[in-house]
């Protein structure tokens, strides 16, 4: 019996579709939704001695990341609330979203991960990688992929 379903989100259309699917599953099984967002950490670009005038400070970056994360998690919460499914949300900063997603699944004792896929193929997939594919390869719990 499923109790907790992790829903990683990046705010994209595939993520919103995954959240809707996860809510339907959670409602049918009386499970909870855990919305989860992975944001990039602050990094300084390497330009030699040049510093771009529009470079964000670490504090500005954190503020922006918090705002965007809350926006994406609110999308998942709205979907869950509309179906009267209990939910919670969390976010972290990481360079490795697949590892953060798998760690969150363990931390929140999730029985399933429901996530979106952008459906990248060929060279684009090789260059950008696929977080979904990496989660599928390493997950010890079921992963439902929505396009």
Q: Which residues pair with 35 in a beta bridge?
A: 7, 89
Name all domains of the chain by residue range, CATH numbers in brackets: 4-43+52-146 (3.40.50.620)
Tens-of-pLDDT digits for all 147 residues of the chain?
A: 899 999 999 999 999 999 999 999 999 999 999 999 999 999 877 666 777 777 788 899 999 999 999 999 999 999 999 999 999 999 999 999 999 999 999 999 999 999 998 766 655 554 445 899 999 999 999 999 998
* pLDDT value at residue 119: 66
The per-residue pLDDT for 118 is: 79
Check if the beta carbon of residue 93 is closer than 8 Å to that of residue 103. Answer: no
Residue closest to 117 by CA, chosen among 145, 94, 80: 145
Which whole-number Å values give the CA distances from 3 to 22, 32, 118, in the listed order?
12, 6, 27
Q: What pLDDT is attached to residue 130? A: 85
pLDDT given for residue 124 in this prediction: 53
> Against a cut of 0.85, is the pTM above it?
yes
Which tokens sit at 119?
A: 């459906």
Helix or strand or coil: residue 139?
coil
């Amino acid at each position: 019996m499923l109790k907790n379903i992790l829903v990683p989100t990046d705010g994209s259309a595939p993520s919103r579709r995954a959240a809707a699917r996860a809510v339907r599953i959670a409602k049918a099984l009386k499970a909870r939704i855990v919305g989860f967002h992975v944001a990039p950490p602050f990094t300084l670009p390497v330009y030699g001695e040049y510093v771009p005038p529009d470079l964000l400070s670490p504090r500005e970056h954190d503020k922006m990341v918090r705002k965007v994360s809350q926006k994406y998690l609110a999308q998942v919460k709205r979907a869950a609330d509309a179906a009267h499914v209990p939910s919670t949300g969390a976010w972290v900063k990481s360079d490795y979203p697949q590892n953060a997603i798998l760690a969150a699944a363990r931390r929140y004792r999730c029985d399933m991960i429901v996530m979106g896929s952008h459906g990248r193929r060929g060279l684009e997939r090789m260059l950008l990688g696929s977080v979904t594919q990496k989660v599928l390869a390493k997950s010890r719990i079921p992963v439902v992929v929505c396009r």
